[in-house]
Structure formats: C-alpha cells, structure tokens
Amino acid sequence: MSTIPAFGLGTFRLQGQAAVDSVRNGLELGYRAVDTAQIYGNEADVGEAIAASGVSRGELFLTTKIWVDNYAKDKLLPSLEESLAKLRTDYVDLTLIHWPAAGNGVSVEEFMTALADAQAKGLTRRIGISNFNIELTRQAIAAVGKDAIATNQIELSPYLQNRKLVDFLQSEGIHVTSYMTLAYGKVLGDPAIAAIARRRQATPAQVALAWALQLGYSVIPSSTKRENLAGNLLAQTLRLSDEDMAQIAALERNGREVSPDGLAPQWD
C-alpha cells in the first residue's frame, strides 16, 4: 500500500484493555488502518489486538510516530525497532515525526535524514511529519525532498480549518491527514452541523468526517464504543452538497485544542 488510506482508527488516549478492545472492534468492523505513537504508550496493546485479530499484516496500514526524546540520529532507529517489537511486526507502513520540537537540540535535517535512513533499511514503508507549520515543512522538504514526505498529520476540524497550511501542503503534493476532526467532540453539538445531519439522515460525527474526506484529507477518529466506530465508518459513503460544505467552511474559528509548549511550532 503506497497511498495513505482515507480512513483509519486513531488510538490517542487509549491504553491497556481500552486500546486492545478499540482496535479489536475496529478490525472486526472493517478498519484496516491503525494510527498509534510511541508516546501513547499503547503500541504493545495495538500489537496484541492485531495479533489476535487474524487479519493478515499485508491487509493493514500501521502508522506510528517517533517521540521527541528519540529524534537524535543514534536514537531514532533503535526506538523504531522497539516500536516494531511492541507492534509485533517487521515494519510499519508510515512513520511520522510527532512534533517539530524546535528547542530540543536536534535539527530538522538530522531527524528527517535519520527517518529516511529507517525507510531505506526497511523499517518503515513511508515517512512523514506531524504538527509541522509551513516553514518547518519547508525544512523537512529541504532535508529529504517533498516526494519522500507522505503526509503532514495536523489538527484539523470544522473549527480549525488550517487553510493556509493546507494550501501550501497541497501545492507541494503532500497529503493532509486530519486528527481531532471532531475537536474533542465539540463540533458534535454545533447547530449548523446538526442541521446538516438531520437533512442527510446522518450523525454529526459522520457529517464532520465526510466534510474532511470530501476535501481530500485522511481522517483517524477514535472511539471506545463499537457503535461509534461503526457509525464513523459510514462517513465514507455520505455525500455532502456544495451548500453543506460552504456552511461547514463558515464555522472556522481558529479553535485549536492541542498546542504543547516546547513541542508546537509558531502556527501559520
């Protein structure tokens, strides 16, 4: 699988049995892309659920993210090998740098080159970035070339549409992956989205996810509830009208939920 699946299962904030159950339910329902990260502390749980699922490795698209402590070139590969052991696999399909963390003493060139080295060694099929602004994405491109960067995974929801960054990424041919597409559930109570959901006989979550999918983004929603996991999947078949899309476009409010000090860049 070279292209990044449009729809995946996120595992942020899920640990232990909750993570195992969510991934198990997701795989049973038909999810084939799973997104985790070193800092989530659940790679072993994800690996356990996949091993028990009976789904073959070749059918899956696994993403993990390198944590800040492991950016130095002598640490990145060993840390990824540890992730692979936890995930019970020989490779992941996509490995991302989790946050740019400009002040941690490791240059973009150093960690991107190390990530490209991990790819060359077969530890990961694709590489990419997460939470990078335009300037830092330019630095990543300078290090490894834009064709090497499979995606920039960014917080993006109807309340934080990130148009300037998205326009730049699309102009460079870098795929956009939206995380927190439901803004921690805040968009689910939005009157405009609720009205569209009623018109389309859909849930507010399906509407928000369908909006992102129609804009060409990948989404990775998470849930501990099987019925929500199943419902989210149905967003793939929901078609929104131009009017629906325009109404959601008007909800932009720079509503950022995640911006940790020392890790986040200056946002565009």
Catalytic residue list? 40
Residue 36 phi/psi, 5° resolution? Answer: -135, -170
Distance between CA atoms of 169 and 178, rounded to whole angstroms?
13
Residues facing 176 on adjacent strands: 152
- What is the β-pairing status of strands 9-10 and 33-35? parallel
Please choose, from the candidates 3, 53, 33, 66, the residue with its C-alpha nearest in 3D space to the C-alpha of residue 221. 33
3-state secondary structure of 64: strand
- Identity (one letter) of the amino acid at 83? S
Name the DSSP letter for residue 174: P
User: How many other C-beta atoms lie within 10 A of the C-beta of residue 51?
Assistant: 13
Contacts (Cβ under 8 Å, ≥6 apart) of 105: none
Q: 207 and 196 in contact (C-beta within 8 Å)?
A: yes
- What is the β-pairing status of strands 92-97 and 175-179? unpaired
Q: 153: part of which helix (H) or strand (E)?
A: strand 149-155
Q: 30 and 9 in contact (C-beta within 8 Å)?
A: no
Please choose, from the candidates 85, 24, 92, 86, the residue with its C-alpha nearest in 3D space to the C-alpha of residue 52. 24
